[in-house]
Amino acid sequence: MRPYVLQCLLVAALASGTAHAGLHDRGGGLIYDDVLDVTWLQDANYAKTSGQDADGKMSWINAMAWVNNLSYFDSVRGVTYSDWRLPETFDLGVAGCDYAYSGTDCGYNLSVASSELAHLYYVDFGNRAFVDSRGLQQSGYGLVDDPANTADESLFRNIQSFGYWSGTPYQGTGGAPETHAWHFSTSVGSQNYISKGTQYYVWAVRDGDVAAVPEAETYALFLAGLGLIGFAVRRRANEGSARSRIQANPPSKPANQLKEK
Ligand SMILES: [Ca+2]
Ligand SMILES: [Ca+2]
Ligand SMILES: [Ca+2]
């Protein structure tokens, strides 16, 4: 293959390879997180948008029933997904809440390994907690969209600044799995356990990615790469036919002027 054609292919390959880790808009109302390997519903209050619930807030039992019965049609791929669940919490340290101002599964400035919502809020959204790691109130907490970043809150719709249910029942001091579950607050960046009767929002998520439809930017670059290849091929074909014409009709010059440089 000619170096020029190789360059074109490399441009296309690099364009798809340099997409940064984090959230990706897959179209059809689906946002993929390539670190957690989960797909979030773009609409963070779909229970309300879909008309299933007046405001979208519901008890944990109703939240579980809603998400288990959820069927969502992906208009880009023409596929209906029914494998939705509530986001998970991972109980770190001792069983139950390890309350702290940073680095645990309960409180503020959480370990981002402690739940899918903590990862979304702190890593993907780059947000701050209500208090710093010493417990002192700080400014700029909550759902603060960074206008320069297109792969954060901007990708979603109807994110509520309030409590969201985790699908993980609570097992530990102060509660029981029958009566309590974990939750995450997007208004202050906190995680804790609470009675299952509390009215919180629900954000549906499912494991894995959806079938690939090239991201628009990558697709455009790939097409541009193909266009350059086509141009290179045409140019070579033209040069080839020009050479053929010259060979068929050599210029009638003396032999000593036809020496190659
Ligand atoms: Ca714990
Ligand atoms: Ca943010
Ligand atoms: Ca943004």
The number of the ligand nearest the C-alpha atom of 125 reads 2
Task: Report DSSP state, residue 245.
Answer: H
Residues 34 and 133 in one domain: yes
257 in any annotated domain: no
Q: Is the pLDDT of residue 78 over 90?
A: yes
Residue 137 identity: Q
The number of the ligand nearest the C-alpha atom of 120 reads 2
| Residues 114, 99 contacting (CB under 8 angstroms) | no
Residues 148 and 81 in one domain: yes
pLDDT in tens, 200-251: 999 999 999 999 876 566 666 666 766 766 666 677 766 656 555 555 555 5
Average pLDDT value for residue range 30-43: 98
pLDDT of residue 233: 65
Residue 24 identity: H
- What pTM was estimated for this model as a whole? 0.77
Residue 114 identity: S
Average pLDDT value for residue range 36-57: 98
| Residues 47, 164 contacting (CB under 8 angstroms) | no
| Residues 239, 231 contacting (CB under 8 angstroms) | no
Average pLDDT value for residue range 7-12: 48
Give the whole-angstrom CA distance, residue 211 versus residue 20.
19
Residues 164 and 243 in one domain: no
pLDDT of residue 222: 65
229 in any annotated domain: yes
Residue 138 identity: Q
Centre of ligand 1 to C-alpha 173, Å, is 10
Residues 58 and 180 in one domain: yes
92 in any annotated domain: yes
Put residue 48 in one of left, alpha, beta given phi > 0 → left and psi -120 to 50 → alpha: alpha
pLDDT of residue 240: 58
Give the whole-angstrom CA distance, residue 176 versus residue 163.
19
Highest mean pLDDT among 6-10, 12-16, 86-90, 221-225: 86-90
What confidence tier does 26 reach under pLDDT thresholds 50, 70, 90? very high
Residues 197 and 76 in one domain: yes
Centre of ligand 2 to C-alpha 155, Å, is 11
Residues 168 and 221 in one domain: no
Centre of ligand 3 to C-alpha 185, Å, is 19
Q: Domain range holding 27?
A: 22-207
Residues 76 and 34 in one domain: yes
The number of the ligand nearest the C-alpha atom of 150 reads 3
119 in any annotated domain: yes
Residues 228 and 182 in one domain: no
Residues 219 and 104 in one domain: no
pLDDT of residue 14: 47
The number of the ligand nearest the C-alpha atom of 122 reads 2
Nearest to 186 by CA among 158, 207, 209, 214: 158
Residue 27 burial class via C-beta count within 10 angstroms: exposed 0-12, middle 13-18, buried 19 and up: middle
pLDDT of residue 20: 76
Q: How far is CA 117 from the centre of its chain?
A: 13
